[in-house]
Structure 1
Amino acid sequence: MPARGRPPAYAQPVLHITDARTGESVDAAPVRRGLTRVDAHVPEFHTGALRVLLVADLLVRALELGGTPVWGVLTAERGQAELRAGAAALGIRPFEDRRDVGPGLGEAQVLHVVEEGGATPDGVRVAVAPVGPEAPGIAQGADPAALRLALLSRRRSTPVQLDAAALSEAGETLVRWRRAVAAWAQQPSRPIPDEARARLRTAWEDDLDVPAVLDVLAWVESGSELPEGARFETYAYADRLLGLDLARDLGSPA
């Protein structure tokens, strides 16, 4: 759980992550400004492997938001080309090939992201629950942005079933949020409310609880007392973690 007693909005962020080896919560970046390596381990291309890469991408984004230098690495046995193509479609930033990585880079921390039951070298292990066997992949026509949001809608420790209903709901939410963000952007900018910022940081610093981040966005969307410019800035800030391109429709006709 996040450290208690610190100021809610602007304190030095501390991302806590559960180590699957021990079940204990640890600091994702134990050394201030120390380099953290996020190593995604996937044996081959499948939708569950893309979920592993997505969690690794979220870790990189969350650490960067806290000011931690991060280095993302992909350890894959087979299907590198398919994995990288699928990751790119999902908006996952490129990871370096583990085979090209030299030793002795002096990381302060190594986070190994792996599907549940997968083996990793010594270090903090971040386990990711599997995706249902009937889940549609990108190659089968699923909208990549809707697929990303559907995967984000469950904590990484929870198995996820991606059916037509889940993808449709995610797609409808994306359309609604992108239209709202485009409309809010037409109003004068306002600071992110302290409560919204604190709730966002508390959510993703608590073991990368992305569904709680989405709940905060739903609260901001429905909060009639919030200025529209503040809603826009809140969504833009949260999207630095989520990577959903929520500002995509800025400037588009209504």
Structure 2
Amino acid sequence: MKPNINNFDCNSHFNTLRNNKLFNHASNESINALLNQCRLETFEKGECIINKKKTLYKFYYMINGKIKVFNLNQETDKHYTLFLLLKDDVFDVFSLISKHQHNVCYEVLEDTELLVFSCETIREWLLKNPIILNELFKYTIQKLQVLEYHLLDLGTNGLLVRLANLLLENYNINTQQIENINNLTHKELAELIGTTRAVFNRHIQALKKEGIIRIERKNIYVIDVKLLIEKSSKSNFID
């Protein structure tokens, strides 16, 4: 972690918050007041310095980067990735609202910049700007819906279907590119669908062999979207 406090200019990130729908109904003055009470921190890829104890007291706003949120089984050392935090995401809303520790872990997957606030600062700010709570609840519900979708996918679909769903979920039809999960290792991708790297590799190579995708370095490109959609609609419980 590399704190950047001395040279931090809060005004440089005013538009970052202003353009986020979470802050749609906040006045310019209240946003500036909030920014005056934060600091900038940068984290390098591979760091796990953001832990559940810190999120009990700190609230983070992602300027850029990518962070994995996961649950870890201490006995087996296995973990399941719940979701990815990306640009303009915030965390941890659970600890902010409940004032209890959230039993999840964090790992930085790409170099990341964060605005860091104390939870007390955010709570006091929300008391003065209660209209923002509605947007915060909407944001939380969206995250819960994503998690619900992934748990349903994990519990009812075979691995090939889950892999197809993962690619389609992150496929931008306008740019025809896989976004958000590109540049991740096969191990990280495997953990997004609840499997191992070896099993994931076998299935990703099968899609490649069928001409549905191509792989260049860590980037996956969809060649045949129609066939990929067909794969996602098949019931296949054979891993």
TM-score range, shorter chain: under 0.3
TM-score (norm 2): 0.26
After TM superposition, the score normalised by the length of structure 1 is 0.25
* Structure with greater strand percent: 2
